[in-house]
Amino acid sequence: MKKPFIIAELGTSHGGDPVKAGELIDAAAESGADCVKCQIVYAEEILHPKTGKVALPGGGIPLYDVFKSLERGPAFYRDMKDRAEKRGLLFLATPFGPASAALLKELNPRAVKIASPELNYTSLLRETASWGIPLYLSAGVATLGDIEEALETAGSAWPDAAVPPNITLLHCVTAYPAPPEDYNLRLLSNLAGIFGLSVGISDHSLDPLLVPLLGAALGASALEKHFCLSRHDPGLDDPIALDPPSFTRMTAAMERARSMEGDALVDALKKEFGAEQVEQTLGNGIKTLAPSERDNYGRTNRSIHALTDIARGDLIRSGMIAVLRTEKLLRPGLPPRWERLIPGRRARRRIPAGEGIRFEDI
């Protein structure tokens, strides 16, 4: 069995503290990670201030305000990148819009990651694909059609190729935590066959072994797992992340499994976790929205929203709209592919600040 490329997802667990960021990177290196990933957040690129509290592992969080408190400049991320590379790790980061993408590009990254909610963010996909570096695309809370559209969008940055080179599609379940039985890991080979891409897993389940090792047995080329210093820390994702002992347990198990064939590893996992649990986690290989993420569809991913109140008859200008996550309180709008066609049109009716803009509104 080939060991997957292991990504320790630090997210924003550093809390904006450079000392803690360094501690996370050092701990990830010592725990067997090949790569550390962070998120470059600017609140206004992700949410509208009226989004309210967002349900996260730690409870209802005023996420816009938290993201504002986590905003940092290029020096913070440059130091993280330098620290990671000195430890022999690949530095990976997720941008969420034009400003964070511009900051990341200045760092001259060797790869870039797009999170599941941004899989439909047309302009962000085009921009990051145009950099010509390996691209990791998470495909949580997405249909096959959504994945196909994302790959076509990224491919538009490479006119001589149907799909840009060096894309890894990360199968994901957008739930925190995600039940192992929702992972449907037989889907990995089907996704690889349908799209002709390398396929991995972005794993939000709590167990350090079941989904990671089963995914490796089925050919996952990459594995992303949230990483923290302690599940009791205040980071947004810390309650569902692996601490260093758990992460080390996972990477050590991966090393031991390298000498095994995939089928033998599946059989070993059936003995450890039970045949029924393993079969439920393997699933049927058919791509559908997992039960735990269905309610997130159309809300955690991006749509077009009004930044300010727009009165009936107003001419809509580019500065009056943004591509944002809807989350639970606001009305979803049109998909981001319509972003360029809305400016210059007039509002048919009042559109409150924060609400999604739909065809009937313009």
pLDDT band at 55 (very low <50, low <70, confident <90, very high): confident
**pLDDT surpasses 90 at 299:** no
Strand duo 53-56 + 59-62: pairing: antiparallel
> What is the structure's pLDDT at 296?
86
* Residues counted in the chain: 362
Q: What is the mean pLDDT of residues 216-232?
A: 97
> What is the structure's pLDDT at 319?
94
For residue 129 the two structure tokens come to 């694909």
* Vertex 150: Cα angle to 145 and 152 (nearest 5): 95
Q: What is the mean pLDDT of residues 139-160?
A: 89
**pLDDT surpasses 70 at 17:** yes
Annotated domain spans of the chain: 5-294, 298-361
For residue 330 the two structure tokens come to 């606001």
> What is the structure's pLDDT at 160?
66
Q: What is the pTM of this model?
A: 0.95
Domain 5-294 has CATH 2.60.40.3680: no
> What is the structure's pLDDT at 32?
98
Fold of 298-361: Type Iii Antifreeze Protein Isoform Hplc 12 (3.90.1210)
Greatest C-alpha distance within the chain? 68
**pLDDT surpasses 90 at 336:** yes
pLDDT band at 279 (very low <50, low <70, confident <90, very high): very high
Q: CB within 8 A of 274, min separation 6: which ones?
A: none
pLDDT band at 164 (very low <50, low <70, confident <90, very high): low
Q: What is the mean pLDDT of residues 23-32?
A: 98
> What is the structure's pLDDT at 162?
58
CA distance 115 to 202: 10
% of the chain exceeding 90 in pLDDT: 90
For residue 332 the two structure tokens come to 């979803």
> What is the structure's pLDDT at 144?
96
**pLDDT surpasses 80 at 53:** yes
